[in-house]
Copies of this chain bind each other. A is one copy, B any other.
Amino acid sequence: MSNPTAAMLVIGDEILSGRTKDTNTNYLAKALTEAGITLTEARVVSDDQGAIVAAVNALRAAYDWVFTSGGIGPTHDDITADAIAAAFGVHIDVRDDARALLAAHYAARGMEFNTARQRMARIPDGATLIDNPVSIAPGFTLGNVHVMAGVPSVFEAMVASVLPHLTGGPPLMSQTLRMMRGEGDIAASLGAVAAEFPDLSIGSYPFQSNGAYGTNIVVRGTDGAQIDAAMVRLNKDLSA
């Protein structure tokens, strides 16, 4: 399949300690699937500059787009913007356009625009700002890397700001066949159908219901007619 590829990079000790559940990867995965972009890899790294730089450089070289989540707030452990600048080897400082957005926001609320909050206006040279309608502090796009907030409501708003500007392939479609047979009973038929339709991805996901084994078979691809044909074959082979 020739759809564009993407990777997700989640940044944050709180995910790796188990304190916080990452929901951004699943949100992005669904949004990219609808947009015809294939999420091919996801990683979680800690709030460590070396780890962030190594992951960003590996992923931006391997995939068409990289999306990051987390580490762009005002506190000492928010080091993502500086790490992205280091990964690209570009200069970073408080930038006038981002500072103006934040200064107006805090002035309207009678809140101090102090040194910590000015950190959120640190933007690498050459980056484009990503609109944040929720809490103003912008994300940014540098090269093929989209740098976004970790708070889910802000992350999701930033995905909505970015996605319309990306060109996807044909959307990935799927059909699901649910049956009350165990995976081990249907594996041979599944394998044969998978071999017959090499352009489709055919996955099987076991479940238990009232003590009986069942399987959801999911057929994914970009060609609706092929998906239909595979579903007909599966229905015929597995209803025997």
Contacts and interface: CB of A to CB of B under 8 A. Distances in A.
Interface of A: 13-23, 25-33, 38-47, 51, 73-77, 111-112, 114-117, 119-120, 151, 172, 174, 182-188, 190-191, 194-195, 201-206, 218, 220
A18 B43 contact: no
Nearest to A151: B206
Given A21-B26, A44-B41, A119-B187, A202 B77 contact: yes
B29 A17 contact: yes
Given A187-B116, A206-B73, A17 B44 contact: no
A238 to B, nearest CB: 13
B151 A204 contact: no
A16 B45 contact: no
Provide the main secondary structure of the chain A interface: mixed
A174 B91 CA distance: 36
A184 B14 contact: no
B119 A13 contact: no
A117 B184 contact: yes
A174 B201 CA distance: 44
Contacts of A26: 18, 21-22
Nearest to A215: B75
Given A33-B17, A116-B184, A77 B194 contact: yes
